[in-house]
């Protein structure tokens, strides 16, 4: 045997292709080998931008002595959690149930040959420390347990399998006579955990929690909920001012290690930045706050500059580490600034970004955060704000250029369908609201890449690298992409995107829906059999596939008049009714779908000559999440009956709620008056 990762598409697996460990990718052949040799499986799950994954790899997986123990005792399987979220979901849950502790990455589990975990943890050091055993000794102990305690392992596995099955929602959903109780309960639960001092929810470490923020934004803009708006804006502003935000290059890191948003875990993930782009653009549209606009501009610029492939797709992530140190690419010392900046520029950025204060990062480095307002900097320098802003802008440009000469963090250059969809949706929304056709073209290029590379035989493939796509698509891939295409259509109506959205919806219903009991499985009906087939609706760092599916199918069903889509959306809510009643704050995406089902989305159709539609740009920029606006030039082909209107020499606007439409209006001001009601 030898290491078998060299032919994989995952950058994370390729990072381990030279290890002396005889790694193999997850496959039925690997499981069969474990059965044939009667060996347990050592399953290691991680991702390319993971700092502690790198640490464990350098300490243990690159060590010949540790590798000898692993190769002797186990079939060693390496999994990229981003390519195989199905496996990651299952085994993170199993880890939590076995250890009564939350999981994370690297995830280290020991499995029986049939895939059932019987022991595990996350990071293990090479030598005993942090209260953890040394990894080599641990492997030997697990090997002895496998040989000597097989009956106890079998008993534990049977109990674990039964417990995991019980976590899926019960078959047989209740009636679909919904009420708004979970909406108010979710908002109140978020308010109870809100950090009024810094924004966000809970304590350190602090994550953006984009699904919760999207729910609050929907409450604010669609229902006039002032408290929801306060929580949303305080969080967005706190994040934009903090070190989780890259003040030179744009974009946001994965999370903050403190409650102040000051020091991040430095990896940058596509799945965070896509939803955050849409949130910041909508927040700017509602407030005119230039800090929010700058954050949105930074995200879009960063993603197009560093994460968009020449073929159009978006790469997955940037690493936290460079030159073996986390954050080294991003942090500064005063000595590094002296040759770069003028005296006044050093004073201005020092005051603005906290470089005049005590160092806030390890090894006596400074990480940028907004420490003082422009007004405070101007007062301290006895200059006007415009002059100070010009100094800071000049200094930032010089610092960014100098930073670009450093050794860059690694880029995970695989293209994931679900994460691309999140960025397409955010980029298209921001393009529409902020009138940025260049951002729209970026989103369209990414969508076209997914259609060309990931869409085969009316099915989605989950991942690709270098144009090579593989692995069955998951629920998130389909649901997120339908939502993204609906946003693209509002930015610019391209008929083929509407047709593709319907094909995706049909495939989603065919391959993922529990047609009898409602809801969607995470894996397709023809996916490989795993130890459990999950169906859940709780949000994580990304929104739940069931929540997004219910929301997107409801919108699409109203748009094209397809009752099957509408029924499927309602059945998701019915299947997860108990979750909605008991834990609404943990399933914000599902609660947002509930609101949409309780009150059908408003659909605005602008129909008329293409050149005249530009005069209605203000109406097309409406920021309310419960309103879908489409500009349909005369002669647009392949429109469904629900979107077909008489052609005229002037623009007419129809506002529809469900099957009821108001009389058309032909003046933008009148449409804006109607929409404001």
At residue 484, does pLDDT exceed 80? yes
- CB within 8 Å of 295: residues ≥ 6 apart: 236, 239, 240, 245, 276, 280
Which residue stretches of 5-105 are H helix? Answer: 11-15, 28-37, 51-56, 64-73, 85-99
Q: What is the rounded average pLDDT of the residues 500-521? A: 97
At residue 1, does pLDDT exceed 80? no
Q: What is the pLDDT of residue 199?
A: 97
| Cα 222 to Cα 180: distance, rounded to the nearest angstrom | 14
Please check whether residue 173 is in contact with residue 574, taking contact to mean a CB–CB distance below 8 angstroms.
yes
At residue 174, does pLDDT exceed 80? no
Which CA distances in Å does 497 have to 65, 493, 555?
Answer: 54, 8, 15
Q: What is the rounded average pLDDT of the residues 542-551? A: 98
For residue 409 the two structure tokens come to 């963090």
Domain edges within the chain: 11-166, 181-322+412-598, 330-405, 602-676
Residue 363 banded pLDDT, cuts 50, 70, 90 = confident
Which CA distances in Å does 665 have to 153, 196, 489, 600, 669?
Answer: 71, 44, 22, 21, 9
Supply the DSSP symbol for 657: E
Q: What is the rounded average pLDDT of the residues 323-329? A: 93
Residue 301 banded pLDDT, cuts 50, 70, 90 = very high
Q: What percent of the chain is modeled with pLDDT above 90?
A: 92
For residue 36 the two structure tokens come to 């044939």
Residue 177 banded pLDDT, cuts 50, 70, 90 = confident
Closest CA to 371 of 495, 222, 186, 247: 247
At residue 161, does pLDDT exceed 80? yes
- What are the pLDDT digits (tens) for 570-602? 999 999 999 999 999 999 999 999 999 999 999
β-pairing verdict for 602-608 and 627-633:
parallel
For residue 132 the two structure tokens come to 């953890």
CATH superfamily of this structure's domain 11-166: Glutaredoxin (3.40.30.10)
| Cα 137 to Cα 525: distance, rounded to the nearest angstrom | 41
| Cα 95 to Cα 117: distance, rounded to the nearest angstrom | 8
Residue 171 banded pLDDT, cuts 50, 70, 90 = confident
Q: What is the pLDDT of residue 175?
A: 63
- What are the pLDDT digits (tens) for 392-411? 999 999 999 999 999 999 99
At residue 173, does pLDDT exceed 70? no
CATH architecture of the domain with residue range 330-405:
Orthogonal Bundle (1.10)
Say which CATH class 181-322+412-598 falls into: mainly alpha
Q: What is the rounded average pLDDT of the residues 651-659? A: 91
What residues form DSSP beta bridges with 46?
80
The full DSSP string for 566-606 is HHHHHHHHHHTHHHHHH-GGG-HHHHHHHHHHHSPPEEEEE
At residue 240, does pLDDT exceed 90? yes
Arithmetic mean of pLDDT over the chain: 95
Q: What is the pLDDT of residue 75?
A: 98
- CB within 8 Å of 60: residues ≥ 6 apart: 66, 124, 126, 135, 136
Q: What is the rounded average pLDDT of the residues 542-565? A: 97
Q: What is the pLDDT of residue 176?
A: 67
For residue 313 the two structure tokens come to 């797709």
For residue 85 the two structure tokens come to 């979220």
Q: What is the rounded average pLDDT of the residues 131-149? A: 96
Closest CA to 105 of 328, 271, 265: 265
Residue 617 banded pLDDT, cuts 50, 70, 90 = confident
Residue 172 banded pLDDT, cuts 50, 70, 90 = low
The rounded Cα 144 to chain-centroid distance in angstroms is 41
At residue 362, does pLDDT exceed 90? no
Q: Can you give the three-state secondary structure of 309-337, one letter per residue?
A: CCCCCECCEECCEECCEECCCCCECHHHH
Which CA distances in Å does 593 have to 151, 180, 183, 402?
Answer: 46, 11, 10, 46
- What are the pLDDT digits (tens) for 199-233? 999 999 999 999 999 999 999 999 999 999 999 99
| Cα 429 to Cα 419: distance, rounded to the nearest angstrom | 16
């Amino acid at each position: 045997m030898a290491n078998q990762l060299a032919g994989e598409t995952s950058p994370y697996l390729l990072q381990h292709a030279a290890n002396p460990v005889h790694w193999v990718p997850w496959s039925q052949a690997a499981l069969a080998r474990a059965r044939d040799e009667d060996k347990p499986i050592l399953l290691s799950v991680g991702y390319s931008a993971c700092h502690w994954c790198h640490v464990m790899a350098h300490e243990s997986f690159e060590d010949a002595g540790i590798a000898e123990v692993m190769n002797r005792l186990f079939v060693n399987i390496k999994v990229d959690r981003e390519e195989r979220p199905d496996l990651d979901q299952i085994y993170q849950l199993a880890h939590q149930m076995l250890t009564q502790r939350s999981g994370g990455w690297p995830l280290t589990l020991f499995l029986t040959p049939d895939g059932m975990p019987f022991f595990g943890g996350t990071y293990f050091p090479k030598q005993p420390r942090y209260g953890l055993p040394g990894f080599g000794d641990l492997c030997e102990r697990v090997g002895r347990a496998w040989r000597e305690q097989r009956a106890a392992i079998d008993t534990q596995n049977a109990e674990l399998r039964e417990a995991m099955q019980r976590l899926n929602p019960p078959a047989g959903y209740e009636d679909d006579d919904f009420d708004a109780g979970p909406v108010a309960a979710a908002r109140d639960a978020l308010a109870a955990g809100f950090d009024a001092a810094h924004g966000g929810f809970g304590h350190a470490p602090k994550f953006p929690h984009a699904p919760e923020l999207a729910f609050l934004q929907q409450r604010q803009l669609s229902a006039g909920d002032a408290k929801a708006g306060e929580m949303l804006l305080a969080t967005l502003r706190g994040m934009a001012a903090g070190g989780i935000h890259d003040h030179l290059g744009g974009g946001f890191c994965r999370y903050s290690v403190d409650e102040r948003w000051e020091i991040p875990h430095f990896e940058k993930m596509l799945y965070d930045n896509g939803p955050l782009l849409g949130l910041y653009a909508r927040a700017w549209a509602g407030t005119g706050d230039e800090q929010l606009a700058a954050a949105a501009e930074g995200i879009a610029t960063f993603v197009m500059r560093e994460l968009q492939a020449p073929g159009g797709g978006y790469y997955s992530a940037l690493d936290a580490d460079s030159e073996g140190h986390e954050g080294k690419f991003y942090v500064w010392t005063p000595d590094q600034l002296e040759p770069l900046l003028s005296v006044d520029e050093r004073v201005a950025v020092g005051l603005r970004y906290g470089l005049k204060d005590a160092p806030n990062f390890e090894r006596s480095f400074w990480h940028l955060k907004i420490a003082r307002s422009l007004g405070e900097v101007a007062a301290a320098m006895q200059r006007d704000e415009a002059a100070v802003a010009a100094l800071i802008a000049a200094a930032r440009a010089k610092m960014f250029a100098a930073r670009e000469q450093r050794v860059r963090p690694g880029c995970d250059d695989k293209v994931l369908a679900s994460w691309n969809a999140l960025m397409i949706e955010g980029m298209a929304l921001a393009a529409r609201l902020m009138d940025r056709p260049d951002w729209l073209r970026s989103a369209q290029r990414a969508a076209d890449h997914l259609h060309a590379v990931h869409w085969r035989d009316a099915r989605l493939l989950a991942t690709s690298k270098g144009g090579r796509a593989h692995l069955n698509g998951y629920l998130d891939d389909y649901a997120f992409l339908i939502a993204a295409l609906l946003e693209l259509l509002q930015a610019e109506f391209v008929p083929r995107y509407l047709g593709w959205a319907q094909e995706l919806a049909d495939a989603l219903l065919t391959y993922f829906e529990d047609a009898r009991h409602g809801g969607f499985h995470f894996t397709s009906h023809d996916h490989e059999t795993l130890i459990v087939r999950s169906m859940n609706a709780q949000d994580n760092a990304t929104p739940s596939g069931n929540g997004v599916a219910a929301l997107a199918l409801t919108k699409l069903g109203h748009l094209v008049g397809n009752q099957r889509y509408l029924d499927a959306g309602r059945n998701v809510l019915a299947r997860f009714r108990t979750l909605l009643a008991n834990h609404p704050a943990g399933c914000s995406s599902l609660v947002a779908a509930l609101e949409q089902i309780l009150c059908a989305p408003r659909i605005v159709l602008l129909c008329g000559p293409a050149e005249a539609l530009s005069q209605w740009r203000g109406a097309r920029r409406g920021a309310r999440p419960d309103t879908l606006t489409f500009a349909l030039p005369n002669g647009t082909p392949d429109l469904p009956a629900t979107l077909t209107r008489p052609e005229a020499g002037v623009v007419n606007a129809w506002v529809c709620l469900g099957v009821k439409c108001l009389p058309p209006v032909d003046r933008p001001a009148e449409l804006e008056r109607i929409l404001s009601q």
